[in-house]
Structure 1
Amino acid sequence: MTEQSKQGLLLSRVFNAPRELVFKVWTDPKHFGKWWGPHGFSLDVIKMDVRPGGMFLGCQRSPDGSQAMWGKFVYQEVTEPEKLVFVQSFSDEEGNTIRAPFNANWPLEIMNIITFEEIDGQTTLTMQGGPVNATAEERAAFDEMAPMVKQGFGGTFDQLAEHLESQQ
C-alpha cells in the first residue's frame, strides 16, 4: 500500500522476516549499506549512531562511480524494535545540511517515521515521510516528485527484502 497524504508520503510493505531482524538491518551499519538506496548504487556508511540525537552519515555512489551524493539522518526517536524517527537531509562530507543537487526547491529536511509490526513471523514496515519547516515552494517540489520518491522506495524495499532473505 502506498499513498500520498497531507503529511507527505505513506508507504507500507510486508517482509517475510521477524521484526527484530528487520529493525536490525535498519540500524546496523554492517547491514544498512548493503541494501539502502537506488538499485545499482553503493552506499558507504561513514557514521551510524542510532540513538536520539545520533546521526547517520553516508555517501551514495552511482554504478559507474561518477556521481556521489552525501546524506544524513538525525535520529529523533529509537524504540527497539518498534519505531525509528529521523530527519533526513542531503549533506556535505562533514554532515552539514545542503540543498539537494537535483532541485534547488527540494526541502532541506524530511521527517521519516518508520514502524515495525510483526504478525506470524512477518513484519509490516510502515514509513511516513514529509517535509519539515518547508516553504510553499519546497512542499510543492516534494509533492511533484512524490511519484518518483515512491518508485525509488519500491526499489529500495525490494533490495531490503533480498537482504533479509540472505540473513535467514
Structure 2
Amino acid sequence: MRKKLLSRRKKAQSPITAKTEGHILYLERKFDAPRELVYEAYTKAEHLARWWGPAGWTVPVCKVELHPGGSWHYCMESPDGTVKSWGKAIYREINEPEQLVYNDYFSDEEGHIDPEAPGLLITLGFHEEDGATKVVNRAEYASPEALRNSLNMVVAGMNQTWERLADYLQSIQSK
C-alpha cells in the first residue's frame, strides 16, 4: 500500500505539459529514472511492447531497427481486440542517449506507409534533471489545422502512454 501511495505522489509531481506553436506540439514530462534507461525504453522492442500506447492497449507486434534509415514497426491492439492500429517510424537521427528524430506514419501490417495520412516529424529529447529524466517530444504537423484537429486526442493518448512508461520504469527499477 505504501508503495502505491508513493507512486501516486511521484506521478502527481510530474504531470505532462503541452504547448503549441503554429504547427508544432511540444509535450514534456519528467520520469523518475536515469536517462539511459528511459532512452532504452524508447529504443528496444522488448521495452516498447510493454508500455507503448493508451491504457489497456497492447503491442503484439514491435520490431525495431535502430539506425538512421531503420524503422520501428508496431501494432497497437485495443483492449477488446477489435481494433488494430499499425504504425511505422523511420529513424532520421540517433544521438544516444540524448535524442531521437524520426518520421512517424500510419502503416499496414506489411509496413507500407499510408499515403493518405501525412506523417509527423518527431524529435525526442532526453534531458537529465536531478537524477531524473525529462522527455521533450516535439511533433511537427503538416499545418496548424492538422495539429488543432488532433490535439485533444494526442495529448490524452500521450498522457496515458507516459503514465504506462512511468509505471514500467518503476517496475523494472525495483527488480
Gaps of 5+ in 1: none
Q: What does the per-residue CA deviation read over 1:55-79, in whole Å, with 9 as the maximum and x for residues that have no partner?
A: 0111111101111111100001111
Instruction: Note the C-alpha offset of 1:120.
Output: 2.1
Q: How does 1:75-154 map to 2 (within 5 A)?
A: 75-98=91-114, 107-131=117-141, 134=142, 139-154=144-159
CA distance in 2 between counterparts of 1:44 and 1:142 reads: 28
TM-score of the two chains, using structure 1 as the length reference: 0.88
Q: Share of identical aligned residues, percent?
A: 38
Q: Secondary structure at the match of 2:110?
A: coil
Partner of 1:45: 61
Q: Secondary structure at the match of 2:87?
A: strand
TM-score of the two chains, using structure 2 as the length reference: 0.85
Partner of 1:14: 30
Instruction: Note the C-alpha offset of 1:5.
Output: 1.6
CA contact (8 A) 2:23 2:147 kept: no
CA distance in 2 between counterparts of 1:46 and 1:114 reads: 19
Q: How does 1:53-64 map to 2 (within 5 A)?
A: 53-64=69-80
Moved more, 1-10 or 71-80: 1-10
Gaps of 5+ in 2: 1-16
CA distance in 1 between counterparts of 2:62 and 2:162 reads: 22
